[in-house]
Structure 1
Amino acid sequence: MTTSEHREPLPGATPIAPEDSVPASPEFPAHRWGFGAFLLVEAVLLASAAFVSVLVGEPAPGQPLPIRSVLLGTILPTMIAAGVALLATVVRGNGPVLDLRLHWRWPDVKVGLKFGALGLVVASLGAYVWTRLVGSADATSAISALVDDRKMSVSAAVVMFAYLWLVGPICEEIIYRGLLWGAVERLNWRGERWGRFAAFLLSTAVFAASHLEPLRTTLLLVIAIPIGLARLATGRLAGSVVAHSVNNFLPAVAILLGALGVTSI
C-alpha cells in the first residue's frame, strides 16, 4: 500500500480534523439544549444572588468591604450560573468547546481587541452623553454603587478588579454569547433557522436587561453591541470574551482605585 492510497478509518474510530478545519455555525453537531437551559441558568443566577445576599448580610456603614462580601455577594452567583451553563452542554449536548464555540484562535483575539477598543470609545461617549442627559448618579453601575464612599481591604479590591476584568467577562460570555446565542441559533421559524444575526440581536438585548439596572439599560445596550459584534464576526466565543475584558479594563481600574481610596469613583 502506498501513502497516496485511501485508508479506511478503524471501526469505531472518530475522524480527527485539522484544527483550522473546524466548521463554523451552524455545521457543528446538534445539541439538545435550548431556551430551557438558558432560563434555568438565569433562575440559578437570581436565586443564588438572593440567597448569598441574605447569607452575607449588609456590610456595616462606613466600614471597609471585607473580601467575604466581594467573593460571595458579587462573584459567586455569576460563577455558579456559568458553571450550570457549562454543565448543561455536557449533559444535553457535545460539551462547551463545540456547543459554546470555545475554540481558541489568535485571530479571534485580535478581532476581540479591536472591538474591545471600539467598545471603550463607544462606552465613554455613551457615558458622557448619558451623564449630560440623565445625570451622573443614574449612570452609576450596581458595582460602583456597592463600593461608592466605601473602601475595601487590599485583597478584596484586587479580587474585585480581577473579577471585573477577567472572571466576570468569561462567565457572562458563557451565559449570554454562549448559551443564549446557541439557543437562538437552534430555533426554527417556518422551517428557517433564526441564524447568527438574530442571536446577536437577542443576546445583546437580554445581556443589557439582565443586569437589572433599568436606568442604565440603554447605556448597557450601547456597550454590549461591540462585544456582540466580536462574537458575530468570529463565530466563536473567544473574540467576545476578549472584547468584553478590554471594555471592562478601565472601569475595573477606576473601581479598584476608588475602592482603595486612591481616587473618587
Structure 2
Amino acid sequence: MNDPQVPDPPDQQPAARQRLLEPSGVDEGPASDEPPRHRWGFGAFLLVEAVFLLASVFVVIPFRPPGANGALSPIGIVVALVVPTVLAAVVALVITRVRGDGPIRDLRIRFSWPDIRLGLALGVIGLVPTLITARLWAWWVGDDNANSAVGSLLDGVRLPPALAALVFLHIWLIAPICEEIVYRGLLWGAMERLRWSRWSAFVLSTAIFTVGHLEPSRTPLLLVVAVPIGLARLLTGRLPASVIAHQVNNFLPALGVLLMVSGVMPA
C-alpha cells in the first residue's frame, strides 16, 4: 500500500498560496464605533479657518508688483489659490497629531474598495444636479455673477503650461483633499467628540462647507455640490469616500479652468 501523502508544512507551501492565505491588511468593514479619544473640538476647526483667512490675505503680499493697482503676477495668483488651502489642511493634520491619535484614526482615513466605489458613484450621480443647477443659476443671475471665486481670480489670466497644469491638479485633486480634511475630517470629528449623531454632523458640515467658501452669490449651487459629498462621508463613516466624490465633482471645473488659462477656451 502507498503511504498517505502528508501535506507540506506551511513554511514550504508555494509562495502564491501563502500570499492568498495572508490577510490583506485593508479594513473592508464599517468604520469603528469606538468613541473618539482626541482632545480637539470646534476650537481646532476655528483655528484652521483663521489660518486659511489670514494666509489668503498675507501670502500674496510679496507677489504684488509696485504700482500694479493690486494686480498679482501669475505666480502670485497660483500662490493665492494653492497655499491657503494646503496650509489649512496641514495645520489640521498637525492638530490631530498634537491633540489626538493622528489623522488616520482621528479623521477616519482608512481606504477600502467599497468606499472608493461609493465615492465614485456619488460623485458621478452628483454631477447631474450640479450641472443642472449651475445652468439654471447662470440663467437666473447672469453668467458674470455666476462665476466662482476661482474663476474670477483667473478671469483673463494666461498662465505658462507648468502653472496651468498645477492649477488644474490643485482644483481637481489637491483642493478636495484639503477641504475634506478640514470640513468632513476636523469639523466632523469635533461633532463626533460631542456625541452628535451622524445626521447632525452631515447637516452642519454641509451647511458650513457651503458658506465657508465665502461666495454668497453661489450658495445654492454650493449646497447642491455639498450634499452628495457629505453623503459619502455619512454612509461610509470614513473620509476617503467624500474625497473621491469631491474630486469627481471638481474635474469638469478644473478642466474648464485649464482650458481658460491656457488660452484654448475664452474666459
* TM-score, normalization by structure 2: 0.85
- Alignment coverage as a number of residue pairs: 243
Deviations 1:5-51 (A, max 9, x none): xxxxxxxxxxxxx6437762541541110001000000111011111
Match of 2:64 in 1: 57
Give RMSD over aligned pairs: 2.2
Deviations 1:80-113 (A, max 9, x none): 1100100111111110000000001111110010
Match of 2:8 in 1: none
Match of 1:183 in 2: 190
Deviation at 1:56, TM superposition (A): 2.1
- Aligned 8 A contact 1:230 1:243 in 2: yes
Match of 1:252 in 2: 254
* TM-score, normalization by structure 1: 0.86
Match of 1:238 in 2: 240
Deviations 1:220-241 (A, max 9, x none): 1111111101111111100000
Per mean C-alpha deviation after superposition, the further-off stretch among 47-56 and 88-97 is 47-56
Match of 1:24 in 2: 31
Between the aligned partners of 1:69 and 1:255, the Cα distance in structure 2 is 17
Q: Cα 1:33–1:57, aligned 2, differ >3 Å: closer, same or farther? A: same
Spell out the pairing of 1:110-149 with structure 2 (5 A cutoff).
110-149=117-156
Spell out the pairing of 1:176-215 with structure 2 (5 A cutoff).
176-187=183-194, 193-215=195-217
Match of 1:158 in 2: 165
User: Is 1:43 the counterpart of 2:50 in the alignment?
Assistant: yes
Deviation at 1:57, TM superposition (A): 2.0
Aligned partner of 1:31: which letter? H
SS at match of 1:212: coil
Aligned partner of 2:27: which letter? D
- Aligned 8 A contact 2:38 2:101 in 1: yes
Between the aligned partners of 2:115 and 2:37, the Cα distance in structure 1 is 23
Which 5+ residue runs of structure 1 have no aligned equivalent? 1-17, 188-192
Between the aligned partners of 2:189 and 2:62, the Cα distance in structure 1 is 34
- Aligned 8 A contact 2:36 2:193 in 1: no
Match of 2:97 in 1: 90
Between the aligned partners of 1:104 and 1:21, the Cα distance in structure 2 is 8
